[in-house]
Chain A
Amino acid sequence: MKEFRKYIRVWWLLTIKSFQVAFTSRFGVALFVFGKLFRLGFFLLFLVIIEQRTKVIVGYSLWEIILFFATFNLIDVFSQFFLREVYKFRWYIVSGDFDFFLTRPLSPLFRSLFGGGDPLDIPILCLSIVLVAISVINIGNVSFANAILYLVLVANGLLIALAFHIFVLAVGVLTTEVDNTIWLYRDLTQMGRLPVDIYQQPLRALITFAVPVGIMITYPSKAILGLLSPQAVLISFIVGGVFLWASILFWRYSLKNYSSASS
Chain B
Amino acid sequence: MDSIEVKGLKKYYKVQKKEAGLAASILSFVNRKYEEVKAVDGISFKIDEGELVGFIGPNGAGKTTTLKCLSGLLYPTAGEIKVLGYTPFSRKTNFLKQIALVMGQRNQLWWDLPPIETFILNKEIYEIPDDKFKKTLDALVSLLDVTDILKTPVKKLSLGQRMKCEFIASVLHSPRVLFLDEPTLGLDVVMQKTLREFIKEYNKQYKATILLTSHYMRDVEALCRRVIIINHGKLLFDGKLSDLVKRHAPYRIVKLTLQKNIDESLMRGLGEIKSFTYPQVVISVPYRRISDVSAKILKDLAVQDLIIEEPEIEDIIREIFEKGKS
Contacts and interface: CB of A to CB of B under 8 A. Distances in A.
B263 interface: no
A104 B126 contact: yes
Interface stretch (A10-18, A54-62, A160-168): A10-18
Interface of A: 2, 6, 9-10, 13-14, 17, 20-21, 24, 95-97, 99-100, 102-106, 108, 255-260, 262-263
A260 B71 CA distance: 12
A6 B89 CA distance: 22
Interface residues on B, range: 35 or more
Contacts of B96: 103-105
B125 to A, nearest CB: 5
Given A105-B96, A263-B181, A256 B113 contact: no
Interface stretch (B100-108, B193-201, B282-290): B100-108
B25 to A, nearest CB: 17
B124 A259 contact: no
Given A13-B120, A259-B13, A263-B181, A106 B72 contact: no
Q: Which of B68, B71, B89, B107 has the most chain A CB atoms closer than 10 A to its own CB?
A: B68
Interface of B: 13, 64, 68, 71-75, 89, 91, 93-94, 96-97, 99-101, 103, 105-108, 110, 112-113, 117, 120-122, 124-127, 181-182
Contacts of B120: 13
Contact of A10 (B97, B121, B181): B121
17 contacts: A10-B124, A17-B110, A21-B113, A95-B106, A96-B106, A97-B106, A97-B107, A99-B106, A100-B106, A102-B72, A103-B72, A105-B127, A257-B75, A258-B73, A259-B74, A260-B68, A260-B73
A106 B95 CA distance: 11
A99 B113 contact: no
A6 B73 CA distance: 23
Contacts of B68: 99, 260
A106 B125 contact: yes
- Judged by DSSP, the binding face of A is helix
A2 B127 CA distance: 10
A10 B121 CA distance: 7
A99 B126 contact: no
Contact of A104 (B107, B117, B125): B125
A21 B125 contact: no
A1 B267 CA distance: 80
Contacts of B64: 262-263
The 8 A-B pairs of least Cβ separation, nearest first, read: A105-B96, A256-B75, A105-B93, A100-B108, A105-B97, A106-B125, A103-B101, A9-B124
